[in-house]
Amino acid sequence: MNIDEALIERIIREVVSQVVAEKAAGGGQNRSASGNNQNSMQSVNLGQIEQLVKNVASGDRQTSFGGQTSNAGGYHPEEPVHDVDIEEDITSREVKKRPLIDQPQDPEALERMMRLTTARIGVGCAGPRLKTQTLLTLRADHARARDAVMLDVHQDVIDNLKLFSVQTRCQDKNEFLTRPDLGRRLSEDGVQKVKDQCIEGPDVQLIVADGLSSTAINANIENVLPVLMDGLSAAGLRVGTPFFVRYGRVAVEDEIAELVGAKVVCIFVGERPGLGTAESMSAYLAYNAKIGMPEARRTVVSNIHKDGITAVEAGAYLTDLIQKILDKKASGVELQN
Amino acid sequence: MADKTAILSVGIDVGTSTTQVVFSKLQMDNAGGYFSVPRVAIVDKEVVYKSEVYMTPLKTDVLIDTDALRDIVAAEFRKAGYRPEDTDSGAVIITGESARKENSDAVLKSLSDFAGDFVVSAAGPDMESLIAGKGSGAWQYSMDHHCRVANLDIGGGTTNVVLFEDGETLARGCLDIGGRLICMNPQGIITKVSPAAAVMAQAAGVSVSVGDRCDELKLTAVTRQMAAALNAYLGVGTKDIDAILRQIKTPGSSDFPVPEKVQAVFFSGGVADLIYHESADTWAYGDIGVLLGRAIRESRLFTDFQKMEPGETIRATVVGAGTYTTTISGSTITYSDDIFPLKNIPVIKLDEELQEACFAGETEPVIRRIQWVLGQNDEEHFILAMPGKRNPGYTEMKRAAASIRQIMDRVQPPGEPILLVIESDIAKAMGQMIRQQPDLKRQVVAIDSIHVEDGEYVDMGKPMMNGMVIPVVVKTLIFG
């Protein structure tokens, strides 16, 4: 897609610094949803961008944009640019599916085409540039993507599933992002917890890790994990004690499989978010996983989210897949052949 | 069988005037890619054999000659080089006036061995309209060009009309207009005037009766009236013949609202060739087909729209039946291996409200509804269908699974299977959860990504593509 990420990032940085300055002056207002362990800077980011978007949409645009725009591209300062409902979520599916092109030749065909893709088509333009709403949507989507990476998985989600938590060798989010190697190994404390609390030699060890999108875990895991655990138990398999890994990457499953002596290991990880969705989760499975084994031995089920394969259906599919892996004693490329 | 990636499908169409057989190969492939859940789709449809066009053998005006028909079909199997057991799927459809013959049910049964161990289907007029529109290529055209397209399949007894927009079926209908509504012998004496033809003659102000010498002027007046009726049906020309349209509406067909913004019109069926190509001999077929073709060619129906020449004309219905009636289920489903094939299972569909009750654990309204439907007929099995949810949660799914189990325990004797068809992609999860119900002594089939309506019938074949999918035929009507 033809998006100037650097530009968007710069704009967001400006917005954030402005917001932080406002907050320092006492004018800031933290509007973000209450999460646990949230990095306060990032909470401000989402909340304030929402606020800014609403300000712009509700009338500030006259002052913000009016002076800089000529009449090119059909812009008439005395008329509203378009009807932005300040109460609606501009990142929602419904709003994104609404064409922004002025006077399309075939409006119905345009809507049909827009239904077929999540790409930003049918958005029109203002002169050579994006329309205000398109730009705002991009910024909001980008903010969501950043939040997905930077925020932590809700503690409620972990508690509801009765998972205990361990951490990798990463000390914080920053280290997690910059040192992939540390995200593949458990901390000493983590190793001890796993040894103490997990049953040994299960057929299947299930793990949940934040990976690069905590949003994805928040959105899906509560509907996948119970379906899968029910399914595996009904199939008569010995299911290991599931737990949560903070700052975890996919390959941490290898160490865990070795620690507990699991035949099959399956880790749920939030996928690096894009501007399309921040809610995509994947499951990586391996038979007889070993530290340092080739990636080709992993089987992956990707795109678990509400617009991909739904969480409950993924759980049901994984139930059969895990049985197949146990049956064939193989995973990854070996399983396909 | 397990690794089969193609379906051989036979289509047999017993029409008012002609009978045809085609064989098609439906190629399946997993379009899901390496890193995601499989998504099997029919990726290619190829007609591998077309029979000649036979006159439908009749014993009398109201009886089809079953034995002669069987011989025709058996001979075509031999010519094509297939045995009945080679076919995986297929549709036998009895269309037009043939469907109203007294022994149409017996004909269907006698041909059923030819459609493999899987599918036999009969069609109502609405279904025929859809099948012909798909077979002619109109449906594909509407998708390729994102436009609104009408297909008129004009056969011997009926004209089946369907309106597509970008692959969606907007409307279906059928009129008793066709080339063989009036027939004459080689001596030029009229031997048959159908009731619908009498209506058209009266409207045209001429008198046409059996035993009359055929008079081209009079018959042209009748066929022009027919053409005018078809024009009006598509919203062209006179609008004051609604009363006539009502009289010649084929029994069992749907209302066809006057369409707007039709961009292209396809003609298929036997008369189509006579519309696109002028025939030198007016009485070549011993009926009014040539005159009807001429009348339509001279009408606004032929000039007002972008006119398309379809890929199939007279064979549109049989190609549609052989190629487009079989669909496949979603690729994440639950089933018991030994239950297939299932044939002619009626559908009881829950609307959103009843589905909501089911997901909320309220079983009584659903039980009442099912018992009411079962009370109306003496069906033993049924498919419970529902629209499903887009992204349901674990707990509500679990509740729904428990509800469905309870409901089935109330409405079906022990041992009967639970058959579920869900539109949204959640059937594997739902099926597994139902299976996990304690002491469930029933087989469970739960498939998805199939759209069915209340009162339709469903056939399910044996699993294919390593057991990932089940071939499915949805039918609107069966005889008897």
Chosen for mutation from B428, B433, B434, B440 (greatest number of chain A CBs closer than 10 Å) is: B428
Q: What is the pTM of this model?
A: 0.79
Question: Based on the domain organization, do A82 and A192 belong to the same domain?
Answer: no
Question: Based on the domain organization, do A298 and A317 belong to the same domain?
Answer: yes
Specify the 3-state DSSP secondary structure of A239. strand
Residue B133 has pLDDT above 70, yes or no: yes
Rounding to the nearest 10 degrees, give the CA dihedral for residues A307, A309, A315, A319. 180
Residue A60 has pLDDT above 50, yes or no: no
Question: Based on the domain organization, do A145 and A189 belong to the same domain?
Answer: no
Chain A nearest CA to B97, separation (Å): 39
pLDDT at B51: 94
- Which residue in the set B34, B166, B426 is minimally distant from A312, CB to CB? B426
Chosen for mutation from B146, B335, B394 (greatest number of chain A CBs closer than 10 Å) is: B394
* Domain boundaries, position A269: 155-336
Is some CB atom of chain A closer than 8 A to the CB atom of B304?
no
Asked if B173 and B163 touch (Cβ cutoff 8 Å), the reply is no
Residue B269 has pLDDT above 60, yes or no: yes
Q: Tell me what the pLDDT averaged over chain B comes to.
A: 89
pLDDT at B196: 94
Q: Do strands B148-154 and B159-165 pair parallel, antiparallel, or not at all (unpaired)?
A: antiparallel
Number of domains in chain A: 2
- Which residue in the set A223, A314, A319 is minimally distant from B432, CB to CB? A319
Token pair for B85:
């057991």
Domain endpoint, select from A150, A171, A186: A150
pLDDT at A54: 63
Residue B291 has pLDDT above 80, yes or no: yes
pLDDT in tens, A208-257: 999 999 999 999 999 999 999 999 999 999 999 999 999 999 999 999 99
Is some CB atom of chain A closer than 8 A to the CB atom of B393?
yes
A306/B34 touch (CB, cutoff 8 Å), yes or no:
no
Question: Based on the domain organization, do A126 and A198 belong to the same domain?
Answer: no
Chain B nearest CA to A311, separation (Å): 7
B393/A312 touch (CB, cutoff 8 Å), yes or no:
yes
Domain endpoint, select from A102, A117, A150: A150
pLDDT at A330: 96
A302/B35 touch (CB, cutoff 8 Å), yes or no:
yes
Question: Based on the domain organization, do A102 and A248 belong to the same domain?
Answer: no
Question: Based on the domain organization, do A170 and A302 belong to the same domain?
Answer: yes
Is some CB atom of chain B closer than 8 A to the CB atom of A104?
no
Please enumerate in sequence order all residues whose Cβ is within 8 A of that of B449, keeping only pairs 6 or more positions apart, or say none.
B329, B330, B423, B425
Q: What CATH number has the domain bearing residue A291?
A: 3.40.50.11240
Question: Based on the domain organization, do A133 and A160 belong to the same domain?
Answer: no
Please enumerate in sequence order all residues whose Cβ is within 8 A of that of A308, keeping only pairs 6 or more positions apart, or say none.
A280, A302, B36
B426/A226 touch (CB, cutoff 8 Å), yes or no:
no
pLDDT in tens, B173-191: 999 999 999 999 999 999 9
Residue A115 has pLDDT above 70, yes or no: yes
| CB contacts, 8 Å: A314 with chain B | 37
Asked if B239 and B216 touch (Cβ cutoff 8 Å), the reply is no
| Crossing angle between the packed helical segments B394-411 and B364-376, to the nearest 10 degrees | 40
Chain A nearest CA to B466, separation (Å): 12
A313/B393 touch (CB, cutoff 8 Å), yes or no:
no
In order of start, what are the domains of chain B with their CATH numbers?
A: 6-121 (3.30.420.40), 127-314 (3.30.420), 332-464 (no CATH)
Per-window interface: B 139-158 vs A, CB < 8 A: 146
Chain A nearest CA to B186, separation (Å): 53
- Is A250 marked as a binding-site residue? yes
- The residue among B437, B382, B434 whose CA lies nearest residue B412 is B382
Chain centroid, CA B24 distance in Å: 16
Domain endpoint, select from A101, A121, A150: A150
**Between A312 and A113, the higher pLDDT residue:** A312
CA–CA distance, A12 with A49 (Å, rounded to integer): 8
- 């009266």: which residue's tokens? B202
Lowest average pLDDT, out of A157-166, B98-107, B300-309, B401-410, goes to: B98-107
**Between B97 and A275, the higher pLDDT residue:** A275
Question: Based on the domain organization, do A59 and A109 belong to the same domain?
Answer: yes
pLDDT at B208: 93
Question: Based on the domain organization, do A171 and A230 belong to the same domain?
Answer: yes
B35/A310 touch (CB, cutoff 8 Å), yes or no:
no
Chosen for mutation from A108, A284, A310 (greatest number of chain B CBs closer than 10 Å) is: A310
Please report which confidence band the pLDDT of residue B296 belongs to, taking 50, 70 and 90 as the band edges. Answer: very high
φ, ψ of residue B464 to 5 degrees: the values are: -130, 175
Question: Based on the domain organization, do A220 and A311 belong to the same domain?
Answer: yes
pLDDT at B421: 96
Please report which confidence band the pLDDT of residue A86 belongs to, taking 50, 70 and 90 as the band edges. Answer: low
- Is A157 marked as a binding-site residue? no
Chosen for mutation from A105, A224, A313 (greatest number of chain B CBs closer than 10 Å) is: A313
Q: How far is CA A261 from each of CA A215, B48, B92, rounded to the nearest angstrom?
A: 30, 55, 58
Chain A nearest CA to B282, separation (Å): 44
Q: What CATH number has the domain bearing residue A77?
A: 1.10.30.40
CA–CA distance, A210 with A281 (Å, rounded to integer): 10
φ, ψ of residue A138 to 5 degrees: the values are: -60, -45
Chains A, B: CB contacts within 8 A come to 77
CA–CA distance, A32 with A50 (Å, rounded to integer): 9
Question: Based on the domain organization, do A242 and A114 belong to the same domain?
Answer: no
Question: Based on the domain organization, do A40 and A164 belong to the same domain?
Answer: no
Please report which confidence band the pLDDT of residue A33 belongs to, taking 50, 70 and 90 as the band edges. Answer: very low
pLDDT in tens, B382-436: 999 999 999 999 999 999 999 999 999 999 998 899 999 999 999 999 999 999 9
| CB contacts, 8 Å: A222 with chain B | 393-394
A313/B425 touch (CB, cutoff 8 Å), yes or no:
yes
Complex ipTM:
0.81
Percent of chain A with pLDDT over 90: 63
- Which residue in the set A310, A319, A336 is minimally distant from B391, CB to CB? A310
pLDDT in tens, A257-305: 999 999 999 999 999 998 888 899 999 999 999 999 999 999 999 999 9
Is some CB atom of chain B closer than 8 A to the CB atom of A231?
yes
